[in-house]
């Protein structure tokens, strides 16, 4: 039956994890996958999560099926985070939000819905982008192309190229945009540049799909969410996928969402009914535990404040590690200016290192980043930073 089945390629990032786990070098450091580790190199279990889980244990509840679109309080909390509790779209009820299996699930439900709605549209992703963007939209049946974003020569953005590519796109083209903390480069466009992107989306009748996997890792929940408000103010309808994997350190619970901003409450009800069909024919309804935690924390003012402060600690620690990396590389004898690392934001840094250098880092020193030169700064800590700097200095 399966004799003709070919071996599929590994996910380039998750495949690195397997290689790292098999490495016997005691000094090994995993800067491959985008996961936040604390200063002891441990995956955090946030206090707000522990506190809410304790209240769940004190009052055990049976696990019935959830509604197709998930926990109502969860969907409401997502809308408040993404659009703002007092925002016009939330107040007027024109956002359709569903609980999804991680940010990936939100993207996939959105992609399947878009395919039904507009089967001939093309999808544009940034060059480079999170590898799964291309695979996911291709699997949903779309032709996926890219818009210019990063210029390897200048180690910076190619914003003029990005804008040209958006302006050249056909009406109806779906444009996947990283709302903040661009993965993999770490470079975000400025507020003013967002204004130009929004103008292009509007003028060319493009469909914006904002992927918000790192809300809170840039400058804060409200600050990072401000870009959503700009799209709203421009009068656009659009898609937003949300992930709580990183911001709640709940990777394995698969907590995410998809929100679709519609023209009216009545339109949102029709869109929601279609999203529910996509969900029903894929996995019927989402799981309970992770969604209950997030809804519980966000719905309790004290726990909500605790969450934002714990998220703030993660954000501040990553920024401190960026500075330490820049200083450490200089101290280790690197002559070129590496200060661009502190201009990048979020969990990743495009280091500018070549594939050969990244392979050497891995094979000779057990320091794992992707072949493209991406390193997860959120996995650096006070114990491994000197070693990482020394190794990078050697390959440079
Ligand atoms: N989008 C981007 C840009 C990401 O980096 C990630 C990372 O995991 C995701 C989506 C997927 O999020 P999740 O792990 O919640 O599915
Ligand atoms: O880019 C990353 O490292 C994270 C984690 O298929 C990830 O977004 C990587 C690959 C993948 C799923 C998640």
DSSP string, 218-270: SS-HHHHHHHHHHHHHTT---EEEEE-TTTTT-GGG-EEEEEEE-SSHHHHHH
Query: What does the pLDDT look like over 204-259, one tens digit per residue?
Result: 999 999 999 999 999 999 999 999 999 999 999 999 999 999 999 999 999 999 99
Judge if pTM exceeds 0.90.
Answer: yes
**What would the mean pLDDT of 68-76 be, rounded to a whole number?**
98
3-state secondary structure of 350: strand
Q: What percent of the chain has pLDDT over 70?
A: 100
User: Domain 62-300 belongs to what topology?
Assistant: 3.40.640
* Mean pLDDT to the nearest integer, 179-208: 98
CA atoms within 13 A on the CB side of 19: 20
**Dihedral, CA atoms, 82, 53, 299, 244, nearest 10 degrees?**
0
Catalytic-residue membership of 211: yes
Active site residue 307: no
Q: What is the pLDDT of residues 117-132, one digit of tens each?
A: 999 999 999 999 998 9
Asked whether residue 52 carries a pLDDT value surpassing 90, the answer given is yes
Structurally, what CATH architecture does the domain formed by 12-45+304-395 represent?
A: Alpha-Beta Complex (3.90)
Ligand nearest to the CA of 370: 2
pLDDT of residue 14: 86
Residue 80 has pLDDT above 90, yes or no: yes
Q: Which of 32, 33, 217 to mutate to test the pocket of ligand 2 (most atoms within 8 A of CB)?
A: 33
What are 98's strand-pairing partners?
258
Could you tell me the distance, in angstroms and rounded to a whole number, from the CA of residue 266 to the centre of ligand 1?
31
- Indicate the pairing of strand 374-376 with strand 348-350: antiparallel
- Is 164 among the residues known to form the active site? no
pLDDT value of position 12: 83
Cite the residue boundaries of each domain of the chain with CATH code 3.90.1150.10: 12-45+304-395
Q: Which two tokens stand for residue 341?
A: 């690392």
Please state the atom number of ligand 2 nearest to the C-alpha of residue 32: 3
Residue 29, pLDDT score: 98
CA 244 to ligand 2 center in whole angstroms: 13
Give, using CA atoms, the residue closest to atom 4 of ligand 2: 34
Using only the alpha carbons of the chain, give its radius of gyration: 21
Find the 151 Cα to ligand 2 centroid distance in Å: 22
CA distances from 299 to 44, 75, 159, 255, 256 (A): 21, 11, 39, 16, 16
Q: Is 110 in the pocket of ligand 1 (CB under 6 A)?
A: no
- The string of pLDDT tens digits covering residues 275-291 is 999 999 999 999 999 99
For residue 9, is pLDDT > 90? Answer: no
Our answer on whether the CB atom of 102 is closer than 6 Å to any ligand 1 atom is: yes
Catalytic residue among 75, 112, 158, 211: 211
- Once rounded to an integer, what is the mean pLDDT over residues 40-46? 97
Angstrom distance (rounded) from CA 338 to CA 217 = 21
Residues 137-175: tens digit of each pLDDT = 999 999 999 999 999 999 999 999 999 999 999 999 999
The candidate with the shortest Cα–Cα distance to 218, out of 305, 148, 71, 318, is 318
């Amino acid at each position: 039956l399966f004799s003709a089945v070919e071996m599929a390629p590994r996910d380039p990032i998750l495949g690195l994890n397997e290689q790292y786990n098999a490495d016997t070098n005691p000094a090994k450091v995993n800067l491959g996958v985008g996961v936040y580790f604390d200063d002891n190199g441990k995956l955090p279990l946030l206090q707000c999560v522990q506190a809410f889980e304790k209240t769940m244990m004190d009052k055990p509840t049976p696990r019935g099926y959830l509604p197709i679109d998930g926990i109502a309080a969860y969907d409401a909390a997502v809308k408040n985070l993404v659009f703002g509790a007092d925002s016009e779209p939330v107040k007027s009820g024109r956002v359709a939000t569903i609980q999804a299996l991680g940010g990936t699930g939100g993207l996939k439900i959105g992609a399947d819905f878009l395919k039904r709605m507009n089967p001939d549209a093309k999808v544009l992703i940034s060059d480079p982008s999170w590898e799964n963007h291309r695979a996911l939209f291709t699997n949903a049946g779309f032709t996926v192309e890219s818009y210019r974003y990063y210029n390897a020569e200048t180690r910076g953005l190619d914003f003029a190229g990005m804008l040209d590519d958006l302006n050249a796109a056909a009406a109806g083209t779906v444009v996947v945009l990283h709302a903040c903390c661009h993965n993999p480069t770490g470079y975000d466009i400025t507020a003013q540049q967002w204004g130009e992107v929004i103008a292009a989306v509007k003028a060319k009748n493009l469909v914006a799909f904002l992927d918000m996997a790192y809300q809170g890792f840039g400058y804060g929940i409200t600050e990072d969410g401000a870009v959503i408000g700009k799209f709203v103010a421009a009068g656009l309808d659009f898609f937003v996928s949300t992930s709580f994997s990183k911001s709640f350190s709940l990777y394995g619970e698969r907590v995410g969402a998809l929100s679709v901003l519609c023209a009216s409450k009545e339109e949102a009800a029709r869109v929601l009914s279609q999203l529910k069909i996509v969900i029903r024919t894929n996995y019927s309804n989402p799981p309970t535990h992770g969604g209950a935690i997030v809804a519980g924390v966000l719905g309790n003012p004290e726990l909500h404040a605790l969450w934002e402060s714990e998220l703030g600690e993660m954000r501040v620690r990553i920024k401190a590690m960026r500075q330490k990396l820049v200083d450490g590389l200089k101290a280790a004898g690197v002559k070129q200016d590496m200060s661009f690392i502190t201009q990048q934001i979020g969990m990743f840094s495009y280091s500018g290192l070549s594939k050969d250098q990244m392979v050497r880092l891995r094979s000779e020193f057990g320091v794992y980043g992707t072949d493209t030169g991406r390193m997860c700064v959120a996995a650096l800590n006070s114990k491994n930073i000197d070693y990482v700097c020394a190794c990078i200095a050697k390959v440079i």
